Structure 1
């Protein structure tokens, strides 16, 4: 059975696969889209990765991640901006129009969320035109509030849109990730707001399961193992006119310990049952 047409596999979901294994496994399963991460791409080689995915007929639906814009020190901010320009260059080489941003947490010793968000806006102001010149759109991803201190002071879709809407829609959009926003009782209205403004740059799926592991980063669940109503999200995102890829992005050591082809088959089956 062929994989659903809009299904994209984020590289981290089957982290045990090398890039050649990812390309071959997706081609074998009929999955035509992949979301990539910078670290393994850099290790394999950006140009080599681009050649690999194109040679197997795959489309890179997103590159993760840019961001971490909240440092106060001028030297640290300059370093972050330079790294994000490299990320934009890499996205362009890979042929994806979407660079996902994890915006950054509070700097050490700071408790000022509002100032941190303004530094994100300042960074976007410098980077958005550069990204547009390279055919890349920046996608602000709100992360669950438990990550606000150390990873992302943008915790809701509304906060992400408040930042994105300062810039042209073709330059800055948002990433709707079910893992991070499923709990928010305003999320339907914010999805509609994002769609009306042409701001949905990426749509990602992972389930919320408890108890959370120590460190919480690797606690995403396989579709159907937790609390998220994926069809509800898909219907609301689709209602905005979004017709792009739907990327499954799961960080879970239990999945990484299994056979990759088995995990991919399970992802596709869960997607058919729970998303379509």
Structure 2
């Protein structure tokens, strides 16, 4: 095995385009016959190029301001079962969770617009549940409405509906939907005061193999450039893979302005 450091002239890349950046760096090289395996471990983006990206629509402080919650972590959960509930029963589950003390609930990554629960019905019942829980508890509540769709136009339509209902946050599957769609949605959220939660569904196909693929730290950096207020970082416990130091490294990467070199992470 070898570790190679490759430098590219900035003129090779379109400004503000994550899609063009990835097309150039990992587009064809992974398919070369001469390579048995290849893994992109990290990217170092010069400030001159990083500044051409809009980045997160709002950020941590704006979210705390919207929820009026400070000095502690936010507590939430994903509604289960993820698939099969009607929109009315889904809204009831959201209400019970928020009324029970949670700050937010969220859709799962594959809750889009299936025959048993169309997206507009889900949005309406969830908004009703959120407002009811807010009125009874006196706290600001939220639910991450998954706006991911088959086309970018449909995705924006769902974001517009969420905005009209007055919900504070929507959600997007940025890898399965694509970087261009994610950047478009982030721009809409920035312009219209919506927070954007990002789900990393499909990441393990790309990053789990130790000798081939792309390290998740790269996918996290790319997401921060493309636009998202928060991203699944993985957890140290639970059903999914993840090591403590590596996971904490992802958290630092997504939060900090400048990252010191720390080989343990």
Would you tell me which structure has more strand in proportion to its own residues?
1
- TM-score, structure 2 as length reference: 0.48
